[in-house]
Amino acid sequence: MSDDVAQALAFIESATLNPIEVGLYSRAADLPRGRDRGKCLGEPGQDGAATIGATLVSVLANLTGQNRTDVANSLEFASRYAAHEAGADDHTAAYWTEFKKCILRLGWFKQEDQWSKDFIDGQTTGAENFSDYVIDNVRGDPLYSSPEKDVIIRALQSPRSQAEKRAFFRRFTAGGDKGSFGVSSATVTDGALAMRFSAFTFSCNAVVDDYLIFNIKNIKADVGKKIIDSIRRQLDHKLDQAAGDYIDSVDI
72-118 confidence digits (pLDDT tens): 989 988 999 999 999 877 788 889 999 999 998 888 888 778 888 88
The pLDDT mean for the chain works out to 83
pLDDT number for residue 149: 96
CA–CA dist 54, 58 (Å, integer): 13
**pTM (global) more than 0.75:** yes
CA–CA dist 195, 144 (Å, integer): 10
Confidence of residue 11 (pLDDT cuts 50, 70, 90): confident
Sign of CA dihedral 204, 205, 211, 214: negative
pLDDT at 31 over 50: no
Confidence of residue 39 (pLDDT cuts 50, 70, 90): confident
pLDDT number for residue 239: 42
Higher pLDDT, 189 or 186: 186
Q: Which residue spans within 18-173 are E strands per DSSP?
A: 48-52, 55-59, 108-121
The full set of domain ranges for the chain reads 3-17+42-250
pLDDT number for residue 234: 38
pLDDT number for residue 26: 44
Higher pLDDT, 154 or 126: 154
pLDDT number for residue 246: 60
pLDDT at 176 over 80: yes
Residues forming beta bridges with residue 188, ordered by sequence position = 193
pLDDT number for residue 231: 60
- Measured from the Cβ of residue 121, the count of other Cβ atoms closer than 10 Å reads 12
Q: CA angle, 77 as apex, 250 and 30 as ends, to 5°? A: 35
pLDDT number for residue 64: 93
Can you state the percent helix, strand and coil of the chain, rounding each to 5?
40, 30, 35
pLDDT number for residue 110: 80
pLDDT number for residue 245: 59
Taking phi over 0 as left and psi of -120 to 50 as alpha, with beta for the rest, 41 belongs to: alpha
Higher pLDDT, 25 or 159: 159
